[in-house]
Amino acid sequence: MNSQSRSHCRTLRRGESGYEDARRGAMWNARVPDRFPAVIAQARDVYDVIAAVRLAKREVLRVGVVSGGHSWSGNHLREGGLLLDVSRLNDLTIDRDAMRATTGPGRKGHELAGMLAKQKLFFPAGHCRGVAVGGYLLQGGYGWHSRELGPACMSVVGLDIVTADGRLVHASADENADLYWAARGSGPGFFGIVTRFHLQLYPRPQVIGMGVQTYGREMFDDVFRWLHEVGSEVPRSIELQALMSRDAPRVRGAGLLVVAPIFAESYRQAWHELAFFRKNPLRKKAKLSIPFLPCGINFMYRGVGQHYPANHRYAVDNMWTRAAIEDLLPGLNRVADTLPPAPSHMLWMNWSPPTQRPDMAYSVEDNTYLALYSVWQNAAEDEQFASWPVDCLRPMQELSSGCQLADENLGQRPQRFVTEENLSRLDELRAKYDPERKFYSWMGRPQ
Ligand SMILES: Cc1cc2nc3c(=O)[nH]c(=O)nc-3n(C[C@H](O)[C@H](O)[C@H](O)COP(=O)(O)OP(=O)(O)OC[C@H]3O[C@@H](n4cnc5c(N)ncnc54)[C@H](O)[C@@H]3O)c2cc1C
């Protein structure tokens, strides 16, 4: 492919007009790191991507890739390299008969979900509007109905990838199978540029809804004990969550919003599978209790979105755990006692994964997910709020089985994110596909 003659890739060099807007525009988190790529290349198609890789080779620059810029840590912003912005690669095709879609990495998950819904189709896109599929699918992808369908990367059937030597290749179970293996779970450490994802689609669930309960601070221990007790028995159609914040409905001060979103085939199924929630023995002490609220996915997006406002500064950290609740409670109480003002919050999620998954890089997950999000507006308050997630989770490290790459903060607190075996295999594949280490690796690891 003669990419140079076809490429009109816009490039901005540090110091040029437009550069700083492009750098800041590549971050959703308003807390933009003080890391400055030498060049920002804004690709519009695959030819531009190949041309940018060649430019990086000529100028001996390492490459960071950005699709939607929702990496909390700004993994793509590195000092001195080339930032390749593929957000404009966002075309989408849907083949209803084949139950397949293809999408560029810059397409937003909620747009994909919306277009599929019009055709009564479904894909486990993320819980929030605005997140692009590029980073989301590479790191795993926890979306609505993901307990049933698995992390979204399990529904990736193929990828078009530009490699470090500037070749466009296809990866699937039958072609470049090792790249296909790596692309499902390596997230911000992937050593290639995905220009298109090929996705497996599903029929749209007939019924969407949720049960809701809220509790005051005095109930936290009992509620967490109950959540842990029921977790492994919760049907896969339900993603049981508890969100700790200072703005839970009908609660003053720190409260817990316990939500049981369900994706079902009938109202009968939904009602039946939510029985554990309706029968929660603590519900009489709830400040608010709704056994079942039928709703659409847009209502879900709005509800979640309230906790992640745009144009705010964020710091995050997370852990998977299977620890006993009595061991976790001291840490959870420390989180509650130090909880910053809303919209800062802690998310407790029941994941309880199946024992078997397909062979892919994605390999660390556990029964319970804990994630802390510190959210504030003024840069002057960075010192006050930025370390809260790490300060709370570091003392709980011995209870952790590793972290999710979705909410990674590896630069500040390196953690295990795939099994040792898979990490070694990823290192070997990086040496094979990117021998000159053109692509940045995960932060917190040798580059
Ligand atoms: C408000 C908000 C809500 C979120 N909700 C969810 C959620 O519900 N579920 C969930 O699983 N995660 C969620 N996340 C986390 C999110 O999925 C990850 O941060 C993901 O990486 C974002 O994808 P992106 O393309 O927007 O990010 P980017 O910042 O563009 O990408 C992250 C990293 O992925 C790599 N990458 C991106 N695109 C490519 C590409 N085309 N080729 C090669 N490498 C690439 C790069 O290393 C990049 O640094 C959320 C994040 C935010 C900020």
User: Is the beta carbon of 39 within 6 A of some atom in ligand 1?
Assistant: no
Judge whether residue 400 has pLDDT over 70.
Answer: yes
Mutate to test the pocket of ligand 1, among 65, 317, 404 (most ligand atoms within 8 A of CB): 65
User: Is the beta carbon of 352 within 6 A of some atom in ligand 1?
Assistant: no
| pLDDT for 6 | 67
Mean pLDDT taken over the chain: 97
Strand pairing class (400-402; 313-321): antiparallel
The tokens for 236 are 């896969």
Judge whether residue 122 has pLDDT over 90.
Answer: yes
Q: Which atom of ligand 1 is nearest to the CA of 67?
A: 30
Say how far apart CA 139 and CA 135 lie, in whole Å. Answer: 6
Say how far apart CA 158 and CA 327 lie, in whole Å. Answer: 42
The tokens for 57 are 């080779």
Cβ(67)–Cβ(132) below 8 Å: yes
When pLDDT is averaged across residues 177-194 and rounded to a whole number, the result is 98
Tell me if residue 307 falls in helix, strand or coil.
Answer: coil
Question: 7-85: which CATH topology?
Answer: 3.30.43
The residue extents of the domains of the chain are 7-85, 92-204, 207-402
46-71 pLDDT, tens digit per residue, is: 999 999 999 999 999 999 999 999 99
When pLDDT is averaged across residues 153-177 and rounded to a whole number, the result is 98
| pLDDT for 8 | 79
Cβ(256)–Cβ(220) below 8 Å: yes
Residue 255: Cβ-neighbour burial (10 angstroms; 0-12, 13-18, 19+): buried
Angle at 127 between CA 125 and CA 131, to 5 degrees: 70
Residue 447 pLDDT grade (very low, low, confident, very high; cuts 50, 70, 90):
confident
26: CA distance to ligand 1 center in Å? 12
Q: Which residues contact 57 (CB under 8 A, 6 or more apart)?
A: 166, 438
Alpha helices in 279-436 (DSSP H): 297-305, 325-338, 382-385, 388-393, 420-433
In the chain, what percentage of residues exceed pLDDT 90?
A: 98
Judge whether residue 318 has pLDDT over 90.
Answer: yes
User: Is the beta carbon of 308 within 6 A of some atom in ligand 1?
Assistant: yes
285-311 pLDDT, tens digit per residue, is: 999 999 999 999 999 999 999 999 999
Q: How far is CA 64 from the centre of its chain?
A: 18
Residue 262: φ, ψ to 5°: -130, 140
Quick count: other Cβ atoms within 10 Å of Cβ 419?
14
56: CA distance to ligand 1 center in Å? 23
Q: How far is CA 180 from the centre of its chain?
A: 19
| pLDDT for 100 | 98
Q: Measuring CA to CA, how many Å separate 319 from each of 5, 14, 233?
A: 47, 36, 21
Could you give the angle at which helices 297-305 and 109-118 cross, rounded to 10 degrees? 160
Query: What CATH number has the domain spanning 207-402?
Result: 3.40.462.20
User: Is the beta carbon of 258 within 6 A of some atom in ligand 1?
Assistant: no
Q: How many helices (H) and strands (E) does the chain have?
A: 15, 19
Cβ(156)–Cβ(184) below 8 Å: yes
Instruction: Write the residue with the smallest CA distance to atom 23 of ligand 1.
Output: 135
133: CA distance to ligand 1 center in Å? 7
When pLDDT is averaged across residues 368-380 and rounded to a whole number, the result is 98
Residue 1 pLDDT grade (very low, low, confident, very high; cuts 50, 70, 90):
very low
Judge whether residue 37 has pLDDT over 60.
Answer: yes
Instruction: Write the residue with the smallest CA distance to atom 26 of ligand 1.
Output: 68
405: CA distance to ligand 1 center in Å? 9
| pLDDT for 4 | 53
442: CA distance to ligand 1 center in Å? 13
Residue 275: φ, ψ to 5°: -60, -40
2: CA distance to ligand 1 center in Å? 31
198-227 pLDDT, tens digit per residue, is: 999 999 999 999 999 999 999 999 999 999
User: Is the beta carbon of 132 within 6 A of some atom in ligand 1?
Assistant: yes
Sign of CA dihedral 63, 65, 69, 71: negative
Q: Measuring CA to CA, how many Å separate 100 from each of 351, 361, 432?
A: 26, 23, 30
Query: What CATH number has the domain spanning 92-204?
Result: 3.30.465.10
Cβ(337)–Cβ(398) below 8 Å: no
When pLDDT is averaged across residues 316-332 and rounded to a whole number, the result is 98
